[in-house]
Amino acid sequence: MAARLPVHIALAVAFILLLSIPLHGDGEWSRYRLVTLGDSVATTIERLEIVEPTIKVLYERPSLVQELTWRPHRFISGASVSPDPLGELVLTFMDGKLVRITATYDRDRTEGLSDADFLDLLGATYGLARVPTRATGVVRFEPRRTIANWGDDEALVRLWSEDHPRRVGLTITSPGDVALQAAIANGIIVERDAAPARELARQAAAAAAVKAREEKTRLANKANFKP
């Protein structure tokens, strides 16, 4: 029987295998595994081989914002385990183009890895990171804390972590992400402004339905009434 590797070594090996998949090249920071910022919805689905994609529409106006979630297949071959540290990819599209890639790593497969471990492992692919400086003695609550950044004018790669429970991930964005944020903000405004009219229309439709039922009942009762 083959000896099992210690957990921390297995995790490191798994992450190195993950990073052996080119994430960028020739100064490009916009690619993750098989997808690239700017890809269409159809191209993304084809490259990830998603059989039955579920595309969530976040906003329709003023720009169409959609979201697609993908999770890698887990497999075990005999006594050899080939874990994929990636838990899921959340892909955000604006007007049919991929503008944000959010990779969240599986907690079980990254358990015990520190910020320094992630910087070492990701640095093998991305190079020297830009690590945010933090004021000494200042404690701030950050739901999603930035560990490090890489990138250029074309794309930004952000390594982040969340606590309680701890999750670590990467978010890859392009200058289009600014437009995405604006589209989401405008979408919220449009939805808010349209809400009163939608509510009035709903109430009018409900009242009409009640009136129609009452009229149907009246006519039926009148036709069947016998003094």
Residue 224 scores a pLDDT above 80: no
pTM for the structure as a whole: 0.65
* Mean pLDDT estimate for the chain: 77
Q: State the pLDDT at residue 78.
A: 52
| Tens of pLDDT, residues 178-213 | 667 666 666 656 566 555 665 666 677 777 788 888
* Per-residue pLDDT reduced to its tens digit, 126-135: 888 888 876 5
Domain boundaries of the chain, sorted by first residue:
7-176
For the cut 70, the answer to whether the pLDDT of residue 32 exceeds it is yes
| pLDDT score of 75 | 56
Residue 25, pLDDT above cutoff 50: no
Q: Residue 66: how many CA atoms within 13 Å on its side-chain side?
A: 15
